[in-house]
Structure 1
C-alpha cells in the first residue's frame, strides 16, 4: 500500500514501536501494567458501571441536528413526578457492571497467562492486545504531545478543533489495530498537521450521519469508520473561593471513588441529575451535551448495523464523549434497542492540574470499547436488560432509522418563519 493511499484512507505513519510483536512484551512492564489495570476494571464494581437508560420522550422523529437533540429519560421523568408528589418511593434504574459487558473469557486468559496465553487466539485478538501494549510503551510521548496541544496558544485553529485533532491522532487512533480515524473535514479551521509539533498529517474526512428524517449531522471524529467520538470544549473552572457555594460539603474530603459510592448509595438521582464536584463544572453530563451524545450513539448504531450487519449485529456499539480532562462512554444495540451510559465521567489524567500522566485505567477502558467486537460480549441485550423504548416510541418513523447511512450529505432545511403561510386556512364561523 502506497504512503499516499495510507494517508487518504486515514492511516497514521507507523513509528518504531509498531515493529514489536506480541512476544516482545512477555514479562514486560507494559504487560504488568495492562494486567494490573484490567484486574481492577473487572473486579471493582465501583470503578466503571453503566446505567440501563429508558427514554420517556424525544424529538427523534423531527429530523433535527445532533446538537438540537432533545431526550427526556424515564428516570428523570419519574424523579420529577416524585418531587411533585405523584408517586411514592424512590425511582429505580438498572445498573450493569463492567464485567458483565466485557468478554471476560479472553481477559481472564490474559490476566492468568499474559501475552504468551494470548498468542493462541486469532489475529484480531492478538492485534488488539498489541496496540494496547505498544501504546503503554510509548505513552510518555503521546501524553506529552497531547499536553503540548492543550497548553499551546491557538494559532491556525480554534482550541476545540486543535484538541479534537490531537486526541484523535495521539489517543483514539493509537488504540485500534489499523489506526484509522477521520476528523470532521468541515470543522472550523482544522489544522493540516498535528499541533504538537510531530508534523504528522491530520486525517480528515466525511463524518456525516443520519438523514433529514432522523437525527443527523457530522460527528467530531470517527474511529475505524465505526465508532463516533464527541469532543466538547472544557468549561471555565470554578473559582477556588467557595464563598458562593451554599451546598453542604460533608463528603468533600472523601476520595473520588468513595465519594461516588456514597452518592450512589444515597440516591439513584445520579443517573439523571449528576452533580459536578465543587472544583469543576461537569461538561459531558450537562443535559444538552448528554442529549447530543445519546442521539449520536443511537443514530450511529443504526448506521453501522445497516452497513455491517454480519459483523456488528447484536453488539452494543460504543460512542465516546470527551473533553480535555474527562471521558464518557455510551453503548447502543439498535437490534435490541438497548441503551447504556457510563454512570460517571472517567478522569483522563492522573494529575489534572499538570496533565503530565494519562490515567492508565481510563486508557484501558477506552481500549476495551474501541476494540468492542473482540473484547465485549455479543447478544448482551437479549438477556435481562431493559429496552430503551426508543424504537417503540417512533412507530412508523422507525423505518427511517433502519435506512440511515453514514457519509451521505444532508441538505440543510430552512424553517419557514410563519409555518401557516403555505397552509390552507379554514375560517371558523361562530
Structure 2
C-alpha cells in the first residue's frame, strides 16, 4: 500500500516483481489479444448485440489482462450477455452485480468492474452511415476519429450546455455519466475498504472500441480530475494496440501501487466544491455501496448537477 512518502514500489523493486511479470505477460500475449479484439470489432454477432460484444471483448482481452488474477465482472443484465468470448478463444465471460450507489444519489450499474474496484463505462458509438463505411475501408479507424480540442481548453472546466462533441468519450452526455460513476464509485469503494483505498484518487475509465479516457476522484479530499484528452487504443500501425496506452491503463488500474496516497493534499490540488455544494445531500454519498443491487439505471437523479463541477487537470 502506498504511503504519504510516495508509491510503495520503486523502480528497483519493480524489477522481478509481480507487477513486472504482469506487464511482460501482457506484451507476450498482446498479439493474441489484438486478434481477439479485432475479430470482435469486425464481426456482426447473431446471438448478442454489438455493444455487448465490444464491452465483453474489452473486459476479457484488455482491462482484465492488466490486473492480478485477471479479475473482472461485466454487467450481468447487459443485453444478450454471452457465456463465452465471441472471438473464438472460448474464454468464460464473467457476468456479475456491478451496481453502485444509494437511493439518494446516482445509482445504477457500471458496464465493467475491474478487480472489484475500478469502474469502466463503455461509450455507445453512433451508427455508421454507408459513406462512413466506405471511408473506413480506406483508412484505419483510429485515424478517422481524431479529437480536436477547441482552443486547447479544459474539457468540462464547467459542466453545462448540451453541445455534442465529435468524440463519444468527450461528448457532454457521456461526460456526465463518467463523472457520476467516478464520484459514486469513489465513495462506494472507500466505504467498502477504508484502510486500503482512503485518500487515493480512484480512477474510472471511459472506453470505446478505439479510445480510452480517464477520470479520477478522491472522495475525502473532494478532488475531481479528468484527463483532458482521450488515448487512442490502436497505434498508427494498423491493427496494433498502442503500447503506450496499454502502459497508461495498467498504471491507473494498479493505482494503489503506482500513485501516492493523499496526493490531492501533497500536490495542493484544488477541491471540486462538490462537498460544499451538495450540503445535506453529501450524507447520501457517504452511504453509497458496491453491489447495492439496483436493477435500473436512473440517470435523471443527478443531485451534483445543481452545482458547477470544476474539473482540474494534473498539469494545472
Instruction: Name the TM-score class by shorter chain.
Output: 0.7 to 0.9
CA distance in 2, matches of 1:196, 1:411: 29
Measured in 1, the distance between the counterparts of 2:119 and 2:24 equals: 23
Q: 1:185 aligns with which of 76, 79, 83?
A: 76
* Structure-1 residue corresponding to 2:117: 226
Residue 283 of structure 2 is matched in structure 1 by 399
Quick one: distance in 1 between partners of 2:32 and 2:51? 21
Hey, what's the Cα distance between the residues in 1 that align with 2:231 and 2:83?
30
Instruction: Select the residue among 322, 328, 331 that pairs with 2:207.
Output: 322
Change (3 A) 1:210 1:311: same
Cα-to-partner distance string for 1:193-223 (whole Å, 9 max, x where unaligned) = 0010011110010000002211010000000
Is 1:183–1:207's contact at 8 Å kept on the other side of the alignment?
A: yes
Q: How does 1:84-233 map to 2 (within 5 A)?
A: 106=9, 109=11, 118-119=15-16, 126-233=17-124
Inter-partner Cα distance in structure 2 for 1:295 and 1:180: 23
The match for 2:180 is 295
TM-score (norm 2): 0.80
Q: Cα–Cα, structure 1 residues 351 and 236, in superposed 2: closer, same or farther, change >3 Å?
A: farther
Instruction: Report the count of equivalent residues.
Output: 274
Show structure 1 runs of 4+ deviating over 4 A.
103-107, 236-240, 269-273, 411-414
Q: Give the whole-Å Cα distance in 1 for the aligned partners of 2:21 and 2:176.
A: 35
CA contact (8 A) 2:66 2:250 kept: yes
Task: Note the 1:29-44 alignment, pairs <5 A.
Answer: none
Shifted more, 162-171 versus 376-385: the winner is: 376-385
Partner of 2:309: none
> Matched residues in 1 for 2:295 and 2:209: separation?
32
Other structure's SS at 1:178 match: helix
Quote the residue 1:331 is aligned against. 216
The counterpart of 1:366, out of the listed 212, 225, 249, is: 249
Distance 2:297 2:186 in 1: 24
Q: Deviations over 1:157-203 (max 9, x none)?
A: 10000010011001000000121100000001011100100111100
TM-superposition CA deviations, 1:388-419 (whole Å, max 9, x none): 111111111111111110112236699xxxxx
Q: What are the superposed Cα offsets for residues 328-373 of structure 1, whole Å, 9 maximum, x if unpaired?
A: 0000000000000111010000148x5x100000000000000000
Partners in 2 of 1:412 and 1:302 — Cα distance? 20
TM-score (norm 1): 0.59
Partner of 1:380: 263
Report how far residue 144 of structure 1 moved: 0.5
Q: What is the CA RMSD across the aligned residues, in angstroms?
A: 2.7
SS of the counterpart of 1:303? Answer: helix
Q: Is the 8 A contact 1:181 1:224 kept in 2?
A: yes
CA contact (8 A) 1:237 1:281 kept: no
Aligned to 2:274: 390
| SS, match of residue 290 in structure 2 | coil
Match of 2:196 among 296, 311, 328: 311
Cα distance change of structure 1 residues 312 and 197 upon mapping to structure 2, 3 Å threshold: same
Per the TM alignment, residue 269 of structure 1 is displaced from its structure 2 partner at its CA by 5.3
Task: List alignment gaps of at least 5 residues for structure 1.
Answer: 1-102, 111-115, 120-125, 241-255, 274-279, 415-430
